[in-house]
């Protein structure tokens, strides 16, 4: 009895041992694991020498209409690859969730060959030491970089070199409810250009009913850190130090300086005066308020324009205007936000890397970008897409979209509008929202609120820089 039990235990232990070896074997998979050339860009021959079909796992964070556009793009590519490459798109949730899962996959040595990461995750991706910089592929192939909108490329460039391929890009806009303007005798064709002008107009555009209840607010936007980042950029202010983190690692955020405090104060005054509604941090809720026609002026990304136009049909007319500036003297332009595609080198074969690059190249083509542009509302990263016929037709149908394209081309290239590269940028954005919210709900004076918010992120920045430095 005793001996048979012992034998059984022994067999169990053996089984566990075998299983764990197998798992470990799978985990480190791929043929060139951690070798030195894992971060090199292989040439076209890598794909030819690989027998059979090369599979590329592609993690993305697009849902709804945008996911359908991704699936279409991937299907087109797979069909055009002649059976040599198969890209498998995998939806991983929001941008935050995608990067959280990516971090876990690095620990488990099972990264996808291709991953879509939001703009503010760029510094982290560079520091992760997992990716093949896009410029290596560009040099290898002599790829024409004129096909990439320079203002968009500048966000994803470190020391002038492109690290990832922009994929979906959007700019911020000022949205107006045309009929609300006309009802109070304001001219919707002369949109406000500065925060002060929005403030003055908001007072005129706030409407109360007989009982003193507000039925329409002059202004309303989500407490969304991205909007503040954009305002600071239009003012030519750098969000973080060391040249927006582009000269060397940024060591602190600067949204607590005068311009940031001014924005917080302006916003708080509007809300506390009853001229702006505070719908909190959820962009969905602020969007619902504008779509319901209860807000006359609103700040949001270009990527929601299509939805607004559809929702307002028969109720009111949606107009778009360039993103406002902090004051008349502001001479910058907004940052091109969105996300980009990163190719993972560590743990992936030359054929996989090459196949991922082939897809990236395909996705940035003019025809594909025109389709992407019209299917999603994101700005095309390839300027030639605007000359495609389907794109021309689309802009003719939705003239509001011209604003975003014009704004993009009028943008003077600057360090401020390249955006801040910071490893802990997602947390910094959250901290700036803490500051704005504290000022808006009146928990703290604006200056104190922004100072505290900037201070709260300091330990994270320090510890990040220590661990990568």
Q: How far is the CB of 361 from other proteins (least distance, A)?
A: 28
Smallest distance, other proteins to C-beta of residue 225, A: 10
- Binding residues for other proteins, rule: CB under 8 A, are 96, 99-100, 103-104, 106-107, 120-121, 124, 127-128, 211-214, 277-282, 285-286, 288-289, 292, 294, 423-427, 429-430, 434, 437-438, 441, 443, 456, 459-460, 463-464, 467-468
Looking at the Cβ atoms of 420 and 425, the one nearer to other proteins is 425
Identify the sign of the CA torsion 17, 23, 24, 25.
positive
Shortest Å, Cβ 288 to other proteins: 4
Residue 238 or 433: the one with the smaller Cβ distance to other proteins is 433
Query: Is the Cβ of residue 130 or residue 400 nearer to other proteins in the bound state?
Result: 130
For residue 54, with 0-12 CB atoms within 10 Å meaning exposed, 13-18 middle and 19 or more buried, which class applies?
A: buried
Distance CA 245, CA 240 (A): 6
Of residues 367 and 455, the one with the C-beta less far from other proteins: 455
Q: How far apart are CA 389 and CA 54, in angstroms?
A: 33
Q: Are residues 225 and 454 in contact, defined by beta-carbon separation less than 8 angstroms?
A: no
On whether the CB atoms of residues 111 and 344 are closer than 8 A, the answer is: yes
Q: Is the dihedral of CA 174, 178, 182, 188 positive or negative?
A: positive
Beta carbon nearer to other proteins, 144 or 213: 213
Measured in degrees and rounded to the nearest 5, phi and psi for residue 160 equal: 80, 5
Which residues, in sequence order, are CB contacts of 424 under 8 Å at separation 6+? 457, 460, 461, 464
Q: Provide the 10 A C-beta neighbour count for residue 364.
A: 21
How do strand 214-220 and strand 207-208 relate by DSSP bridges? Answer: antiparallel
The minimum distance between CB 419 and other proteins, in angstroms, equals: 15
- E strand intervals along 119-203: 131-132, 157-158, 161-162, 165-170, 172-177
CB-nearer residue toward other proteins: 117 or 411: 117
CB of 266 to other proteins, least distance (A): 18
Closest CB to other proteins among residues 193, 430: 430
175 forms beta bridges with: 298, 320
Of 249 and 411, the one with the shorter C-beta distance to other proteins is 249
Are the C-beta atoms of 469 and 251 separated by less than 8 Å?
A: no
In the complex, minimum distance from the CB of residue 450 to other proteins, in angstroms, rounded to a whole number? 13
Closest CA to 41 of 137, 174, 130: 137
CB of residue 430 to other proteins, shortest distance in Å = 4
Nearest to 158 by CA among 36, 42, 250: 250
At its nearest, how many Å lie between other proteins and the CB of residue 456?
8
Longest dimension (CA), the chain: 96
- The CB-of-235 to other proteins minimum distance in angstroms stands at 25
Residue placing its CB nearer to other proteins in the complex, 282 or 409? 282
Q: CA–CA separation, 132 vs 130, rounded Å?
A: 7
């Amino acid at each position: 009895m005793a001996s048979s039990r012992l034998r059984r235990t022994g067999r169990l232990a053996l089984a566990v041992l075998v299983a764990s070896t197998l798992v470990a074997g799978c985990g480190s998979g791929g043929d060139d694991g951690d070798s030195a050339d894992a971060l090199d860009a292989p040439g076209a021959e890598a794909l030819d020498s690989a027998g059979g079909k090369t599979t590329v796992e592609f993690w993305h964070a697009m849902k709804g209409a945008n996911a359908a556009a991704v699936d279409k793009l991937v299907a087109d590519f797979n069909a055009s690859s002649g059976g040599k490459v198969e890209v498998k798109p995998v939806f991983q949730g929001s941008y935050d969730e995608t990067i959280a899962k990516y971090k876990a996959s690095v620990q488990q040595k099972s990264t996808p060959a291709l991953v879509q990461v939001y703009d503010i995750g760029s510094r982290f991706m560079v520091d992760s030491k997992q990716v093949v910089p896009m410029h290596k592929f560009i040099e290898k192939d002599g790829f024409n970089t004129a096909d990439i909108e320079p203002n968009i490329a500048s966000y994803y460039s470190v020391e002038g070199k492109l690290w990832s391929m922009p994929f979906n890009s959007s700019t911020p806009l000022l949205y107006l409810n045309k009929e609300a303007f006309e009802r109070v005798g304001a001219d919707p064709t002369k949109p406000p250009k500065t925060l002060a002008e929005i403030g003055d107009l908001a007072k005129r555009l706030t409407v109360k009913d007989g009982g003193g209840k507000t039925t329409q607010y002059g202004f309303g936007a989500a407490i969304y850190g991205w909007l503040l980042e954009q305002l600071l950029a239009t003012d030519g202010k750098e969000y973080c130090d060391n040249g927006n983190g582009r000269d060397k690692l940024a060591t602190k955020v600067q949204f607590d300086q005068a311009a940031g405090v001014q924005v917080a104060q302006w916003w708080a005054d509007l809300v506390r005066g009853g001229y702006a509604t505070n719908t909190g941090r959820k962009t969905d809720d602020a969007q619902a308020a504008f779509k319901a026609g209860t807000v006359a002026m609103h700040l949001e990304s270009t990527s929601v324009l299509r939805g607004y136009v559809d929702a307002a049909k028969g109720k009111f007319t949606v107009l778009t205007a360039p993103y406002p500036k902090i004051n008349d003297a502001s001479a910058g332009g907004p940052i091109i936000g969105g996300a980009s595609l990163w190719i993972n080198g560590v743990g992936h074969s030359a054929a996989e890397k090459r196949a991922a690059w082939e897809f990236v190249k395909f996705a940035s083509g003019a025809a594909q970008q025109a389709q992407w542009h019209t299917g999603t509302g994101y700005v095309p990263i390839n300027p030639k897409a605007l000359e495609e016929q389907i794109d021309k037709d689309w802009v003719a149908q939705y003239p509001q979209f011209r604003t975003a394209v014009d704004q993009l081309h009028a943008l003077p290239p600057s360090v401020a509008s390249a955006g801040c590269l910071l490893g802990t940028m997602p947390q910094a954005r959250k901290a700036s929202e803490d500051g704005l919210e504290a000022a808006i709900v009146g928990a703290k004076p604006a200056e104190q609120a922004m100072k505290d918010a900037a201070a709260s992120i300091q330990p994270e920045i320090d510890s990040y820089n220590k661990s990568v430095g």
